[in-house]
Structure 1
């Protein structure tokens, strides 16, 4: 006979009306992913009822230690009722000795189980758990950022690994001040955020982990808003000078020119452009569009009509792809964070420095093209929510508005807004017009 449900047994007189008291983590064990289990070593006289097994193991279906303890109490109470009901009434000396041996063996096992359940993993271990749990929930870029943050922090501390309890607020502050010498506030925040998430993960799974309310990663008041507004738009004259660096006939210059023109007439982020595939260029309701299915934020997923001035270029790119991508260097770039724009970012930066010099241009980058598009649309009195829709910004103050108005604007309406983007000085300098041939020539 096998007993796998303890609830069939009533409490004995000695247990009736009261709950057993257990040590904090008695009977509780934890696997490497933070999931809790109940494990009870069975005395000899109970083993026949469990197919001869020496231990009873059951998942508690939770990664929260407090919840695990409550579930443990319920099951363990029933277990003790069952044990009382089947215990030998007139135990012989041999049975008594065997019972004592079983309890002694359990005591040693219980100690090991408590150690397992109470041991908070090191930083690298908790990172491994975080990556495993979120492997299908978060974007590769987000996971790569967490991995990079841990790598940078351990490098700063000059340690191969570190216990979470050994990281103080003073240590974190020191690291932030160290990063401020070379990184923007936004970049620093991008590294602090995943570290805070690792601490929160640990605090939700291990009772001896640092408390969430006392996390050394919270409350550092980084001026992220100022950092986000730090980019400056190029003047048309400056931008023409930069683009003229790519006026040569080499395949690399033509690739960079194409990428920059798409940025000028869409306001798309550089990685959104570099990541475009032939499947992302399609007609929607009769309008040729870029369909961005995912990006930096949830709002980044959107449809952007193709401007008439770059339509020949875009069609040419779609006709001659590179392993499905519109751009050759994107097709050969593979990074853990999924970014395809590394080469393009570096080339644009070098071209800017060559055309404009380094002094006074630090805040003018490829992202500045996006700012220029936003300014042009605003000057043409395009509604703010439509500008946000085209650029992939969060719109509205409520989740309801963001959810139900996402597709409120048709491609035809958005096309009218995109066609308002014009740069007379640049278009004249590069001879860009509806009759010009912007088709791409030979590429690698």
Structure 2
């Protein structure tokens, strides 16, 4: 596993990349890169999660991974390497794999590091899915009047419940993000470039769940999401505004939704809007396997991964499907989501 030649002077970024490659070799051996698999990636995560968080500084800098693990145990160090840092390591490893892809030394679309899911290790795992009883409360109780209408409330909740998208990603949806790929209507979750003098519109989904294409569930189409998009000005949800220190579009809705569910007696801190993502993940991962089941990789793709740096206006997700990757697999994932009969988007919107 040889790194590409670097002819520029060393800097912190290059030093980190070299360190990541060194640790990978310590754990998995120096083998031809095409021989590495998810098994090796899993071993890397397992080992690196046991080393001290400051392993690259001071007297620990020259220790091997095995020595670092022993050092952490011996000194009872609790501040170990975080998932966020290991995820950053995978980003560096993915860059190396892409380098070899361009040289045709590894198979395309086989990047072990790019397709790895860290979802179960990231912040947010403390949340739980919505119970049927609590979902019924959302349906049967009136949404408080105000600037954000019941119609907007219903569609945002509907999208969250059937896609598992994060709230900010839903609130950022533009009419041009509703696209048709080979006859399949999808949300195109991609980087947003701001219009003139509107810097708050700049947004990169890679900080959340990654660029991807999300097939639109038939229940959302029945609730006329396509007509909604057609009549929208720019963003799907024109009632929302940018607010808060980080200028997010989800702040106003998120606060009102939290107050609403608390008034309904759903006061648990583990049941929030983000919990819809857990409903989707839990149901999909419990889908029976075999010939009628869905693969874990398809679920991870549906819920979102990071696919590397994207400098153009067309998302990597769209390019992957236009290049021939089978969209039908992800459609199968999307359409596998089901709820009890009472969970009706039109009722949530106040239009049933």
- TM-score (ref. length: structure 2): 0.51
How far off its partner does 1:228 sit?
3.4
* Larger helix proportion of the pair: 1
Deviations 1:82-139 (A, max 9, x none): xxxxxxxxxxxxxxxxxxxxxxxxxxxxxxxxxxxxxxxxxxxxxxxxxxxxxxxxxx
The offset of 1:394, in angstroms, is 5.3
Tell me the distance in 2 between the aligned counterparts of 1:281 and 1:341: 19
Which residue among 324, 327, 337 is the counterpart of 1:421?
Answer: 337
Match of residue 296 from structure 2: 384
Q: Which has the larger radius of gyration?
A: 1
Mapped to 1, the partners of 2:260 and 2:208 lie a distance apart of 32
Q: Deviation of residue 335 (structure 1)?
A: 5.4
Match among 225, 242, 260 for residue 333 of structure 1: 242
1:385: Cα distance to partner? Answer: 1.0
Secondary structure of 2:270 counterpart: coil
8 A Cα contact 2:152 2:349, kept in partner: no
> What residue number does 1:320 align with?
231
Aligned CA-pair RMSD: 3.7
1:258 aligned onto 2:151: no
Compute the displacement of 1:419 (Å): 1.1
1:349 corresponds to 2:258: yes
**Equivalent pair of 1:258/1:313 in contact (CA under 8 Å):** no
Aligned-partner Cα distance in 1 for 2:144–2:280: 26
Per-residue deviation at 1:62?
8.8
Any idea what SS the aligned residue of 1:385 has? helix
In the alignment, the residues of structure 1 paired with residue 130 and residue 349 of structure 2 have an alpha-carbon distance, to the nearest angstrom, of 26
Contact 1:234–1:368 at 8 Å: present in 2 too?
A: yes
Residues 5-47 of structure 1: CA distance to partner in whole angstroms, max 9, x if unpaired?
xxxxxxxxxxxxxxxxxxxxxxxxxxxxxxxxxxxxxxxxxxx
In 1, the alpha carbon distance for the partners of 2:172 and 2:127 equals 23
Q: Distance in 2 between matches of 1:266 and 1:231?
A: 17
Q: Does the Cα contact within 8 Å between 1:289 and 1:306 map onto a contact in 2?
A: yes
* Alpha-carbon distance between aligned partners in 2 of 1:303 and 1:232, rounded to the nearest angstrom: 25
Counterpart of 1:302 (choices 192, 212, 215) is 212
Change (3 A) 1:324 1:247: same
Residues 192-214 of structure 1 show CA distances to partners (whole Å, capped at 9, x for unaligned) of: xxxxxxxxxxxxxxxxxxxxxxx
CA shift at 1:406, angstroms? 5.6
1:275–1:298 CA distance, 2 compared to 1 (3 A): closer
Which aligned pairs between 1:40-439 and structure 2 lie closer than 5 A?
225=121, 227-246=123-142, 252-294=149-191, 295-297=205-207, 300-311=210-221, 312-321=223-232, 323-330=233-240, 332-334=241-243, 337-358=246-267, 361-381=268-288, 382-393=294-305, 407=321, 409-424=325-340, 427-428=341-342, 430-431=343-344
Q: Structure 1 residue 414: deviation in Å?
A: 1.5
Q: 1:273 to 1:227 in 2, by over 3 A?
A: closer
User: Which structure 2 residue ranges, 5 or more long, are not aligned?
Assistant: 1-7, 12-78, 85-119, 192-204, 289-293, 308-315
Change (3 A) 1:283 1:316: same
* Structure 2 residue matching 1:344: 3-state secondary structure: helix
- Is contact 1:231–1:367 with CA below 8 Å preserved after alignment? yes
Question: Which runs of no fewer than 5 residues in structure 1 stay unpaired?
Answer: 1-60, 65-184, 191-223, 396-401
Shift of 1:246: 4.6
Q: Which has the higher contact order (CA 8 A, sep 6+)?
A: 2
8 Å contact 1:317–1:440 — kept in the other structure? no
Residue deviations 1:395-429 (CA, integer Å, cap 9, x gap): 9xxxxxx99x96574333312221111111xx32x
Shift of 1:285: 1.0
Aligned length in residues: 210
Distance 2:230 2:184 in 1: 18
Give the structure 2 partner of residue 24 of structure 1. Answer: none
TM-score, normalised by the number of residues in structure 1: 0.41
8 Å Cα contact 1:268-1:370 kept in structure 2: yes
Deviation of the 1:270 alpha carbon: 0.5
Rate the CA distance shift 1:339–1:189 in 2: closer, same or farther, 3 A.
farther
Distance change >3 Å, CA 418–CA 225, structure 1 → 2:
closer
